[in-house]
Structure 1
Amino acid sequence: MNAAVVTSFDEPPHYREFEVPTPTGHHEVLAEVLAVGLHPRVKSGASGSHYTSSGTLPAIPGVDGVGRLPDGRLAYFVADDDVIGTMAERAVVDVRRSVVLPDGVDVARVAASMNPAMSSWVALRRRVQLKPGASVLVLGATGSAGTAAVQIARRLGAGRVVGAGRDRQRLDALLELGADEVVRITDDRAETAAALAEVASDVDVALDYLWSTPASDAIVAMLTARQDRSRALDWVQIGSMAGPTIELPSAAFRSTNFRLLGAGQGSVSLHDYVAELPSLVDELQSGAIGVAPRIVPLADVESAWSRVDAPNERTVIVP
């Protein structure tokens, strides 16, 4: 079969022939792959930098996809943490990690949307209890996942949503997608922190896609300005686009009701992820949330690898 093949962590995948994988488990089948999202998680895995990376090469990237099962049904599926991913003409699917899709579904839209939407959907349904009317900050709201998080927070009952990010055009667009207020992150750290303290100091939940300095600046500024320090702030760490580490003063934990937790592979069980798939598919089908696909043939994966997606867009590789 043809596949995107990673032969070096310092290069993008190459379009090459690869041996067709063989199902081995009782619940595994070989599916025809129809569409695979080129997510940041896919890129970090292909570079060997993701925390689940085994360091084994050659590898096929891809953490999920839409495919046709042997019985003809369409399904969205989540791949195992393995060196043989989904960005190929065929992929092994564990049916326990899949959800059957309705006929006529836009497979490219599902492939584009499920991964970025899943991060905040699972965070708000499995890691924290989002109470009706609660307020939410999305830090890193101008990426595809962050934009979906704004929509999902509103969809799940948030009474107020604040989006923070660098791109002014994307921030303005968030006001049409469910954000009540937006804050632009700039190189002036003090100015950005002050702006976040002004509009987001009393939020109940923060969904953090940035981490590193932007997160530490925001946490300190928001907690310092918080009117009721006994009111819980759940800070959910989802992504690390700004860097993998953070420095926080211990007083942030002692002087306020501040709770730091993560949402990702390991902190949320695979069972819980899969349990959320049907309801999220329904949301995508309704058109209430979602990311627009930019379809690229598998043969062009190498040139597509470094392209930056437009606002609310996700590259989708189609064999």
Structure 2
Amino acid sequence: MPETTIRALRVTGDSGRPERDDVALTSPGEGEIRVRIEACGLNFADLLMLKGTYQDMPDLPFTLGMEVAGTVESAGPGAERFAPGTRVAVFGGHGGLAEAGIFDAARAVVLPDGMDAVDAAAFQIAYGTSHLALDHRAGLRPGETLLVLGAAGGVGLTAVEIGKRMGARVIACARGADKLEVARAAGADHLIDAETQDIREEARALGGADVVYDPVGGDQFTAALRACRPEARILAIGFASGEVPQIKANHLLVKNVSVLGLYWGGYLAFAPEVLTRSLDTLLGWYVAGEIRPHVSHVLPFDRAEEGLELLRTRQATGKVVIRIPG
């Protein structure tokens, strides 16, 4: 039987608009924990879910919000290692824009001392995606040149930061001087303005790219491909432009270029230990002060729709985080 009722931002149909609703919250079941949510990080994938086009859609109705930080209220059988009062971050996939939620304990990590809820809610997807892409998939090496498209966005900015941490020379590509300055502050060595400069020509003038990190797609993918050095690796992270590029295989052949896909959440299904190792490394870097999330907007729960609009109109840099009152 329901124990309590919470406020949540729900998707109930295909209207493309979330709705506020009161939702009954039950006790956690086998392998689950109930979390009192303090903050929820927004992601571009939330917009895709609203349109019904995300590759991993939950069944309707569902609560928006892919990643959260909060405090464990109770644990079900098999999840007792998360004692009540434990502070955690959870990649739930959905369910985050609510006052509380029940999540699979396997998707939770214990937060280190000193990590606040806003940083924690902004951490897992953005840093996890970039680290897994650059380290596990592309094998980025010190001294190589990394070209980051969408370099001021949620994942792109972490790619700049992590690429620099891994010893690469980083070329950041973003739209406008303000966004490029954010990328410079994250460690970018060179900047390309996608609004006014030719990505291909500018990157080639800098010697070309060994690794391309692309959450944008469309024409920017094509330009970056043509700026690749022999044996370059292109990471297909997402398609914020709305256009999935069509790749001509002969272009890959001539320069021995590899295109590598990366869906971070997919590793939970077939190699969760890869995610665990990556997050352990990243949290260690955070504790050591070597990485720090850039959050351009922190908004209260009542303004969550405004936060989604900031992502939709590309007004945010780094992450947008929603604080959720107890």
State TM-score, norm by structure 2: 0.84
Equivalent residues of 1:164, 1:184 under 8 A apart: yes
Equivalent residues of 2:174, 2:180 under 8 A apart: yes
Q: Over aligned residue pairs, what C-alpha RMSD do you find?
A: 2.3
The aligned residue for residue 61 of structure 2 is 58
Structure 1: which 4+ aligned runs deviate by more than 6 Å? Answer: none
- Aligned with 2:178 (options 166, 169, 172): 169
Equivalence map 1:20-99=2 (5 Å): 20-25=25-30, 27-54=31-58, 56-69=59-72, 70=74, 71-79=84-92, 81=93, 85-99=95-109
Aligned in 2, Cα 1:133/1:127: closer, same or farther, shift over 3 Å? same
Equivalent residues of 2:148, 2:159 under 8 A apart: yes
Number of matched pairs: 303
Equivalent residues of 2:218, 2:245 under 8 A apart: yes
- Structure 2 SS opposite 1:193: helix
Unpaired segments ≥5 residues, structure 1: none
Unpaired segments ≥5 residues, structure 2: 1-5, 75-83
The separation in 2 between residues aligned to 1:317 and 1:38, in whole angstroms, is 11
- Structure 1 SS opposite 2:266: coil
Equivalent residues of 1:35, 1:65 under 8 A apart: yes
- Deviation string, structure 1 residues 35-81 (Cα, Å, up to 9, x no partner): 11011122222331111114x322101222112113211011111x5
Larger relative contact order, structure 1 or 2 (CA cutoff 8 Å, min sep 6): 1
- Structure 2 SS opposite 1:108: helix
More displaced 10-residue stretch of structure 1: 164-173 or 234-243: 164-173
Equivalent residues of 2:176, 2:195 under 8 A apart: no
State TM-score, norm by structure 1: 0.86
Aligned in 2, Cα 1:312/1:52: closer, same or farther, shift over 3 Å? closer
- Aligned with 1:306 (options 305, 309, 313): 309
**Whose strand fraction is larger, Structure 1's or Structure 2's?**
2
Report deviation, 1:287. 5.5
Report deviation, 1:127. 1.2
State whether structure 2 residue 139 is matched by structure 1 residue 126.
no
Letter in 2 for 1:131: R
Letter in 1 for 2:88: A
Report deviation, 1:317. 3.7
More displaced 10-residue stretch of structure 1: 87-96 or 300-309: 300-309
Letter in 1 for 2:189: D
Equivalence map 1:114-193=2 (5 Å): 114-158=124-168, 160-186=169-195, 191-193=198-200
